[in-house]
A and B are shown apart, each in its own frame.
Chain A
Amino acid sequence: AQSVAQPEDQVNVAEGNPLTVKCTYSVSGNPYLFWYVQYPNRGLQFLLKYITGDNLVKGSYGFEAEFNKSQTSFHLKKPSALVSDSALYFCAVRALQTGANNLFFGTGTRLTVIP
């Protein structure tokens, strides 16, 4: 079975500070891992993905994520938070070998960047 856990419903960070949004996954075999962002009244937007290669993945808007196989984690990070980063963030996983296209999403983490 495939699943994703986002242990924090809410993360607050001051503008200019680094931010981390946590994600752990469970999947048989090698995973595809994703981060999506959802702004109010909008659909989810793709931020970044890990498939293979370098464990540090860089994505849109200055975000990056680090794949850690031993800890089965894929935390989202940004060195300096902006107020405009305030949104709902979703981690998702897909198992490589299933051949299925569907993703399994976490429950989401609401990030609030405080001016």
Chain B
Amino acid sequence: DAGVIQSPRHEVTEMGQEVTLRCKPISGHNSLFWYRQTMMRGLELLIYFNNNVPIDDSGMPEDRFSAKMPNASFSTLKIQPSEPRDSAVYFCASSSPEFQETQYFGPGTRLLVL
């Protein structure tokens, strides 16, 4: 199994631009999580989906952030417009129906907003 796949691995953009981060969960997993990691705030859960349905988006910072999961094998996290304070590493994780409590993380997308 290839594990959780995230793209791009690195993204540098200018303030005000739209940024789209992509995630492919492990095949057969039905829960998907988006996290943000910064030095100041540590690891924060932004949103998670169960069976493609958003369950808890209370961690989404503001309206500039949106996430979708159109099918079981793909999710996006979009920031529009981006701001320098959005600079962070964004992780996607997934878990299986049989072992929902164990999350498997992707390698992350390192985002820098100038």
Chain A contact residues, CB within 8 Å of chain B:
32, 34, 36, 41-46, 49, 51, 90, 94, 100-108
Is there an interface contact between A102 and B56, defined as CB atoms closer than 8 Å? yes
Contact with A along B34-62 (1 / 0, CB 8 A): 00000000110100101000011000000
Q: Which partner residue on chain A sits nearest B107 by CB separation?
A: A43
Is there an interface contact between A101 and B91, defined as CB atoms closer than 8 Å? no
Q: How far is the CA of A41 from the CA of B10 in the complex (A)?
A: 11
Q: Is the interface of B mostly helix, strand, loop or mixed?
A: strand
Chain B positions 63-114 with a Cβ under 8 Å from a chain A Cβ: 91, 93, 95, 100-108
26 contacts between A and B (CB under 8 A): A32-B101, A34-B102, A36-B105, A41-B107, A42-B107, A42-B108, A43-B4, A43-B93, A43-B105, A43-B108, A44-B105, A46-B103, A49-B101, A49-B102, A90-B43, A100-B56, A101-B48, A101-B55, A101-B100, A102-B45, A102-B48, A102-B56, A103-B103, A104-B45, A105-B42, A108-B42
Is there an interface contact between B42 and A107, defined as CB atoms closer than 8 Å? yes
Is there an interface contact between A108 and B43, defined as CB atoms closer than 8 Å? yes
Chain B positions 1-52 with a Cβ under 8 Å from a chain A Cβ: 4, 31, 33, 42-43, 45, 48, 50
Q: Closest Cβ of chain B: how far from A79's Cβ, in Å?
A: 25
Q: How far is the CA of A103 from the CA of B50 in the complex (A)?
A: 14
Give the residues in chain A near B31, CB-CB below 8 Å: 101
